[in-house]
Amino acid sequence: MDNAYLLGIFAVMGVATFITRALPFVALSKVARHPILDRYGKSLPPMIMVVLVYFGLVSLEIESIDRGGLSGLSLAIVIVLHAYLRNPLLSILAGTGVYVVGIQGFGL
């Protein structure tokens, strides 16, 4: 393939991605302060977090009591950090870090 052809493909993909990301904001700019959208804006992030946590916990393969305890400890760290600090990124990274260190470092 020619480099110019590949660059053209990347340019078209970039424009298409930008349009699909920007279109909802342009289309909904007149109703941005609608009460229903405000309610969704406040309730969707916690609902998405619940779905992600549920999916993560259901997909765990708990082979031993140690692995179950490590999963419980990681979940408790996420809950406590998020309850006190209200920082989802920090709580998720800390819980994931504890779990990964337990699995990789201690062989649980």
The pLDDT tens digits of the residues spanning 56-101 come to 778 777 777 788 888 889 989 989 998 999 888 898 899 999 999 9
User: In a 3-state reduction of DSSP, which class is residue 2?
Assistant: coil
Which residues neighbour 68 within 8 Å (Cβ) at sequence distance 6 or greater? 62
Q: Which domain holds residue 69?
A: 43-108
Do 74 and 106 fall into the same domain? Answer: yes
Rg (CA), the chain: 21
Nearest to 70 by CA among 103, 94, 22, 34: 103
Do 56 and 87 fall into the same domain? Answer: yes
pLDDT digits (tens, 9 = 90+) for 14-62: 999 999 999 888 887 777 777 887 888 888 888 888 888 788 778 777 7
Do 17 and 47 fall into the same domain? Answer: no
What's the number of domains the chain is made of?
Answer: 2
Do 74 and 25 fall into the same domain? Answer: no
Q: How confident is the model at residue 108 (pLDDT cuts 50, 70, 90)?
A: low
Nearest to 56 by CA among 69, 74, 31: 74
Domain assignment present for residue 5? The answer is yes
Domain assignment present for residue 37? The answer is no
Do 15 and 59 fall into the same domain? Answer: no
This prediction's pTM: 0.57
Do 65 and 106 fall into the same domain? Answer: yes
